[in-house]
């Protein structure tokens, strides 16, 4: 029987021949210098994106809709999600749990405070922000100033002044920005927009935009009664409020009960109009402007309000299901037909079956001409790489939200008004002009 040889035993080591010694040393050295297994994904093989080419992302305020956005984002192979910032401990821990489960590690870092998050994570390229309405513009401006690109949920500005700040910040810092009007990147809606633009309906004279069937245009100016404030680590109430006026803590706010309050919300008009106004404005080629006339309707919601754009096309706000079924609907009417679509449609509804004959071609031609995917998140990621504007860029957001805010102001002041979209001010109406901005609370002033 031959005894095993060992380089750790001097007596046995002397038995090695010179050739055996160098052969054994070479094998041992190679084993020390190389990892046991190198995943193909780490080398960019098999279609995987190597780490050096991935877009590093973090999140701000990802509950509810934000969690849906996160589930939409994580499967993208060229993204690495690394951190979450949220004023609520339970929310940030839930996001960490989801992200870590996706990647099979424990690497997602949590941050309770946005300034620390943005200053610390210099490795982050882009941010997904889905806070409540009150924080959207402030978070976007802070992120872009910190050198991050951003996907911001809608409504992306609480006031006309906030929208101006987002546009200016993106321009000044050269950042890519996408607002969450995702139906601008969905085939059914793109088809309806395209046939309206192409003249397939004749010259469109009227668009209809869905507004939310809950709450009202007339907002609440009171606040909920005070409840004991939780420890700051559980809920940082000051950070939750952000730029809004100080209000006493109430758990209902945390649970979504902030809607309907002037301090926190953009009304039933902003809730869905943040989507549908942009959709309608795309179909009538008015994404670079805002409505110039607003005609007051004597009801609590704005249902039936007529707005008029610089090209003479009317956009009528509709709360019910007269023109569609489902949520966030829109419709275009022309002398040669109409098209209508909302969430849940297998295909748009049209006045004549002939209008649907080349659905795939029209959507395909749009994608080829614009180089836009039918994925809003993918459009953001592509633009982060190319640095071109997104389909829902800051100007699209600001002009459509300016129309939302002007419609709200019309309802609040209960009178018709005219708006100059170039000067971005109401004509001969100082009271309305004062409502283009709101006071912001320190230190969250942008």
Joined tokens for residue 377? 């998140």
In the predicted structure, residue 76 carries a pLDDT above the cut 60: yes
Q: Quote the mean pLDDT of the chain.
A: 92
Distance CA 394, CA 267 (A): 21
For tokens 């009178």, name the residue: 415
Per-residue pLDDT at 426 = 98
* Pairing mode, strands 55-60 and 126-129: parallel
Phi, psi of 16 (to 5 degrees): -65, 140
How do residues 113-141 score in pLDDT, each as one tens digit? 999 999 999 999 999 999 999 999 999 99
H runs (alpha helix) in 40-159: 65-73, 89-103, 114-120, 136-145
Mean of pLDDT values over 177-197: 98
Q: Is residue 377 exposed (0-12), middle (13-18) or buried (19+ Cβ within 10 Å)?
A: buried
Nearest Cα to Cα of residue 178 among 152, 196, 208, 160: 152
Mean of pLDDT values over 392-401: 98
Per-residue pLDDT at 44 = 52
In the predicted structure, residue 172 carries a pLDDT above the cut 70: yes
In the predicted structure, residue 14 carries a pLDDT above the cut 80: no
Domains detected in the chain: 184-218+265-374+396-434 (3.30.360.10)
Per-residue pLDDT at 49 = 81
Joined tokens for residue 315? 């956009």
Mean of pLDDT values over 57-78: 97
Identify the band that residue 85 occupies on the pLDDT scale cut at 50, 70 and 90: very high
In the predicted structure, residue 32 carries a pLDDT above the cut 90: no
Per-residue pLDDT at 158 = 98
Percent pLDDT > 90 in the chain is 88
In the predicted structure, residue 286 carries a pLDDT above the cut 80: yes
Distance CA 187, CA 367 (A): 10
In the predicted structure, residue 185 carries a pLDDT above the cut 50: yes
Distance CA 8, CA 232 (A): 58
Percent pLDDT > 70 in the chain is 89
Q: Are 222 and 252 in contact (CB under 8 A)?
A: no
Per-residue pLDDT at 37 = 47
Joined tokens for residue 50? 């190597």
How do residues 426-441 score in pLDDT, each as one tens digit? 999 999 999 999 999 9
| 3-state per-residue secondary structure call for 280-325 | HHHHCCCCCCCCCEEECCCCCCCCCCEEECCCCCEEEEECCCCCCC
* Rg value, the chain, Cα: 27
Distance CA 95, CA 31 (A): 39
Per-residue pLDDT at 129 = 98
Distance CA 212, CA 328 (A): 8
Q: Are 158 and 266 in contact (CB under 8 A)?
A: yes
Cβ contacts of residue 382 below 8 Å, gap of 6+? 371, 373
Whether the bond into 380 is cis, omega within 30 of 0: no
Mean of pLDDT values over 84-103: 98
Phi, psi of 222 (to 5 degrees): -90, -170
Residues in the chain: 446
> Distance of CA 327 to CAs 179, 276, 282, 320, Å?
19, 10, 18, 10
Strand order in the sheet with 425-426: 349-350, 337-341, 330-334, 206-210, 314-318, 306-308, 293-295, 417-420, 425-426
Per-residue pLDDT at 12 = 35
Per-residue pLDDT at 47 = 57
In the predicted structure, residue 225 carries a pLDDT above the cut 80: yes
Per-residue pLDDT at 46 = 52
H runs (alpha helix) in 63-110: 65-73, 89-103
In the predicted structure, residue 31 carries a pLDDT above the cut 50: no
Q: Are 173 and 199 in contact (CB under 8 A)?
A: no
pLDDT, greater one: 239 or 52: 239
Phi, psi of 121 (to 5 degrees): -95, 75
For tokens 């910040």, name the residue: 169
Distance CA 23, CA 36 (A): 20
Per-residue pLDDT at 27 = 42
Mean of pLDDT values over 36-61: 71
pLDDT, greater one: 153 or 26: 153
Containing 371, the helix (H) or strand (E) segment is none
In the predicted structure, residue 78 carries a pLDDT above the cut 70: yes
In the predicted structure, residue 391 carries a pLDDT above the cut 60: yes
Nearest Cα to Cα of residue 271 among 317, 340, 207: 317
Mean of pLDDT values over 163-177: 98
Identify the band that residue 103 occupies on the pLDDT scale cut at 50, 70 and 90: very high
Per-residue pLDDT at 7 = 33
Q: Enumerate the β-bridge partners of residue 60.
A: 85, 129
Distance CA 370, CA 368 (A): 6
Per-residue pLDDT at 236 = 97
In the predicted structure, residue 92 carries a pLDDT above the cut 50: yes
Identify the band that residue 226 occupies on the pLDDT scale cut at 50, 70 and 90: very high
In the predicted structure, residue 8 carries a pLDDT above the cut 70: no
Cβ contacts of residue 121 below 8 Å, gap of 6+? 58, 82, 83, 109
Per-residue pLDDT at 52 = 82
Distance CA 116, CA 233 (A): 15
Identify the band that residue 297 occupies on the pLDDT scale cut at 50, 70 and 90: very high
The per-residue DSSP string of 197-209 comes to: HTTBTBS--EEEE
* Pairing mode, strands 149-152 and 177-179: parallel
How do residues 342-373 score in pLDDT, each as one tens digit? 999 999 999 999 999 999 999 999 999 999 99
pLDDT, greater one: 11 or 338: 338
Cβ contacts of residue 265 below 8 Å, gap of 6+? 133, 215, 219, 258, 259, 271
């Amino acid at each position: 029987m031959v005894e095993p040889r060992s380089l750790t035993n001097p007596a046995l080591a002397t038995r090695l021949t010179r050739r055996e010694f160098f052969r054994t040393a070479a094998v041992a050295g190679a084993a020390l210098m190389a990892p046991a297994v190198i995943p193909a994904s780490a080398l960019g093989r098999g279609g995987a994106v190597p780490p050096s080419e991935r877009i590093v992302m973090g999140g701000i305020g990802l509950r509810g809709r934000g969690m849906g956005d996160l589930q939409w984002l994580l499967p993208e192979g060229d993204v690495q999600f690394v951190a979450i910032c949220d004023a609520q401990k339970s929310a940030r821990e839930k996001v960490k749990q989801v992200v870590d489960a996706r990647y099979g590690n424990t690497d997602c870092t949590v941050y309770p405070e946005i300034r620390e998050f943005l200053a610390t994570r210099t490795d982050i390229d882009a941010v997904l922000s889905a806070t409540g309405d009150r924080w959207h513009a402030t978070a976007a401006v802070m992120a872009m100033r910190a050198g991050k690109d951003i996907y911001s949920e809608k409504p992306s500005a609480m006031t006309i002044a906030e929208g101006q700040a987002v546009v200016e910040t993106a321009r000044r810092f050269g950042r890519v920005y996408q607002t969450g009007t995702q139906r601008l990147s969905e085939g059914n809606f793109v088809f309806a927009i395209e046939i309206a633009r192409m003249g397939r309906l004749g010259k469109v004279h009227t668009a209809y935009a869905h507004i939310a069937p809950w709450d009202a245009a007339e907002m609440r100016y009171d606040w909920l009664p005070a409840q004991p404030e939780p420890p700051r680590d559980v809920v940082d109430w000051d950070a939750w409020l952000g730029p809004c006026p100080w209000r006493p803590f109430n758990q209902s706010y945390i649970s979504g009960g902030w809607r309907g309050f002037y301090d926190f919300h953009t009304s039933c008009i902003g809730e869905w109009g943040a989507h549908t106004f942009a959709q309608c404005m795309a179909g009538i080629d008015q994404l670079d402007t805002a409505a110039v006339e607003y005609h007051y309707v004597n009801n609590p919601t704005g249902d039936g309000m007529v707005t008029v754009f610089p090209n003479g096309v009317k956009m009528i706000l509709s709360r019910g299901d007269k023109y569609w079924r489902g949520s966030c609907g829109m419709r275009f009417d022309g002398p040669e037909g109409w098209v209508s679509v909302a969430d849940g449609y297998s295909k748009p509804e049209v006045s004549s079956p002939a209008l649907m004959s080349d659905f795939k071609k029209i959507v395909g031609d749009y994608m080829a001409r614009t180089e836009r995917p039918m994925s809003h998140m993918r459009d953001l990621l592509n633009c982060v790489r190319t640095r071109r504007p997104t389909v829902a860029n800051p100007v699209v957001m600001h002009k459509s939200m300016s129309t939302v805010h002007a419609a709200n102001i019309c309802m609040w002041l209960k009178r018709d008004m005219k708006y100059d979209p170039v000067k971005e001010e109401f004509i001969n109406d100082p009271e309305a002009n004062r409502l283009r901005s709101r006071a912001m609370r320190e230190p969250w002033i942008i």
